[in-house]
């Protein structure tokens, strides 16, 4: 099994306050934009731990160049094992009191990491914090904003209803206390998908979830995203996460639930066929249409090219025309 490290964790006499953890797989075109948004953050000591999950498109070489020129960047090269394993490895190397997530392709807006660190420092009852998210299309088009209600999300995470558990606005928006992460067992390898929701539910059992009411993160809605491509698996795993919480809170073992979760893995290539792509393109076009953005026409036309029988896309296109 391949495993190598480029760069040294942290820099200077003082250790990092915040460790930013990223998993990277074949995303060279978006890497620099993401890394630059994190490394430009002012007002705190940080380290960036990038786990290259067996990339084949030059992503590994690109992050190695960052590590050679910026002592705050550490790169771990491993064989492809999926995002969960990459995050487990990255978090195990983290030295900061706080650990922040960041997804490739997305950007942290100025002040995000500093404000989240300040929030956790001032609120001892909170063990993790998220922020508002601006969702943009593949071309950077503004689709919509997500601002979560703090008390509502915390109640949902502590609910035992499989239909209710939902977490922060986006996986990449979260910063958590490293001590709390270790206390609850961190990301669990059994969850190839939905590893974030599983962690948020367990963190909410030992402390509060704080939400900064600001848009401090920008995420890209891409037609081939994991959440859209593996929707069925995500739904099943949400039920298992709720069942695991019920067992845990009753003092019972959830070993059999974890075994069922471990069996849910990608079977063959992602289901990103023409119908799935058409639905994703329609969604982007519909969001832009509601904002009266002329770019909606292009996405609706692309949705119809992928699936000429997409009636909703035809209707929206005709109304827009």
- Per domain, the residue ranges of the chain are 3-220, 274-320
The pLDDT, as a whole number, for residue 319 is 85
Kindly give, in sequence order, each residue whose CB lies less than 8 Å from that of residue 214, ignoring residues fewer than 6 positions away.
Answer: 115, 131, 132
Integer Cα distance of 10 and 19 in angstroms:
9
Mean pLDDT of 285-311: 94
Distance in angstroms (rounded) separating the CA atoms of residues 262 and 237: 10
So what's the pLDDT on residue 7? 67
Mean pLDDT of all residues in 122-149: 96
Between 22-26, 125-129, 317-321, the lowest mean confidence (pLDDT) is in 317-321
| Euclidean distance between CA atoms 130 and 204, whole angstroms | 13
* Cα-to-chain-centroid distance, residue 251: 30
pLDDT band at residue 11 using 50, 70 and 90 as cut-offs: very low
pLDDT for 10 beyond 70:
no
Of the candidate ranges 6-10, 43-47, 74-78, 132-136, the one whose mean pLDDT is the lowest: 6-10
Give the model confidence (pLDDT) of 32-45 as tens digits: 999 999 999 999 99
Give the three-class secondary structure for 73: strand
Length of the chain as a residue count = 321
Which of 154-168, 231-245, 251-265, 285-299 shows the lowest per-residue confidence on average (mean pLDDT)? 154-168
Higher-pLDDT residue of 204 and 159 is 204
pLDDT (mean) for 207-227: 88
**143 alpha carbon, distance to own chain's centre:** 18
pLDDT band for position 12 (cuts 50, 70, 90): very low
Q: Which helix (H) or strand (E) holds 137?
A: none
Which fold, 3-220?
A: Spore Coat Polysaccharide Biosynthesis Protein SpsA; Chain A (3.90.550)
- Sequence-separated (6 or more) residues with CB below 8 Å from residue 33: 105, 107
Residue pair 59/52 in contact by the 8 Å Cβ criterion: yes
**From 9-23, 47-61, 172-186, the region with the lowest mean pLDDT:** 9-23
The vertex-96 CA angle with 93 and 173, nearest 5°, equals 95
Q: How far is CA 170 from CA 7, 179, 216, 269, in A?
A: 29, 22, 11, 24
DSSP letter assigned to residue 16: P
Cβ-proximal residues to 19 (8 Å cutoff; 6+ apart), any chain: 46, 47, 48, 49, 91, 93, 94, 95, 96, 98, 99, 100, 178
**Residue 80 clears pLDDT 70, i.e. is over it:** yes
Q: Residue 276: in which H helix or E strand, if any?
A: helix 274-290
For residue 189, give both structure tokens.
């390898």
Question: Confidence band (pLDDT; 50, 70, 90) for 106?
Answer: very high
Confidence of residue 281 (pLDDT cuts 50, 70, 90): very high
**Cα dihedral sign for 48, 51, 56, 60?**
positive
Q: Which residue has the tokens 């964790």?
A: 9
Average pLDDT, the chain: 91
The 3-state DSSP class for residue 267 equals coil
pLDDT of residue 3: 63
Q: Which two tokens stand for residue 93?
A: 């190397």
The C-alpha atoms of residue 238 and residue 264 are separated, in whole angstroms, by: 12
Do residues 28 and 59 touch, judged by C-beta distance below 8 A?
yes
Instruction: Let me know the angle formed at the C-alpha of 71 by 70 and 77, rounded to the nearest 5 degrees.
Output: 90
Q: Are the beta carbons of 148 and 169 closer than 8 angstroms?
A: yes
Q: Which range, of 2-6, 10-14, 68-72, 113-117, averages the lowest pLDDT? A: 10-14
Spatial separation of the C-alpha atoms in residues 205 and 209, rounded to whole Å: 10
Contacts of 36 (CB under 8 A, 6+ apart): none
Q: pTM for this structure? A: 0.92
């Amino acid at each position: 099994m391949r495993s190598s490290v480029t760069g040294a964790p942290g820099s200077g006499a003082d250790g990092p306050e915040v460790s930013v953890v990223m998993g990277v797989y074949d995303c060279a075109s978006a890497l620099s934009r993401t890394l630059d948004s994190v490394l430009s953050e002012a007002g705190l000591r940080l380290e960036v731990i990038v786990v290259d999950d067996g990339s084949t498109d030059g992503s590994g070489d690109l992050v190695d160049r960052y590590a050679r020129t910026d002592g705050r960047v550490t790169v771990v090269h491993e064989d492809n094992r999926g995002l969960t394993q990459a995050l487990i490895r990255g978090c195990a190397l983290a030295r900061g009191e706080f650990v922040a997530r960041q997804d490739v392709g997305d950007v942290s807006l100025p002040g995000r990491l500093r404000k989240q660190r300040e929030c956790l420092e001032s609120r001892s009852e909170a063990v993790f914090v998220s922020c508002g998210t601006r969702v943009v299309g593949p071309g950077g088009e503004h689709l919509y904003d997500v601002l979560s209600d703090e008390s509502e999300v915390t109640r949902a995470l502590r609910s035992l209803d499989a239909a209710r558990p939902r977490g922060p606005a986006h996986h990449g928006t979260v910063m958590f206390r490293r001590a709390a992460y270790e206390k609850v067992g961190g990301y669990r390898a059994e969850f190839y998908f939905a590893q974030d929701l599983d962690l948020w539910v367990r963190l909410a059992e030992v402390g509060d979830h704080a939400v900064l009411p600001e848009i401090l993160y920008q995420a890209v809605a891409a037609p081939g995203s994991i959440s859209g491509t593996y929707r069925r698996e995500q739904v099943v795993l949400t039920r298992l996460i709720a069942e695991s919480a019920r067992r845990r809170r009753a003092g019972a073992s959830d070993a059999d639930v974890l075994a069922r979760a471990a069996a849910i893995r990608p079977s063959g290539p992602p289901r990103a066929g023409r119908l799935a792509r058409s639905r994703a393109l329609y969604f982007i076009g519909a969001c832009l249409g509601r904002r009266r953005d002329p770019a909606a026409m292009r996405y609706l036309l692309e949705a119809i090219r992928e699936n000429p029988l997409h009636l909703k896309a035809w209707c929206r296109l005709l109304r827009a025309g």
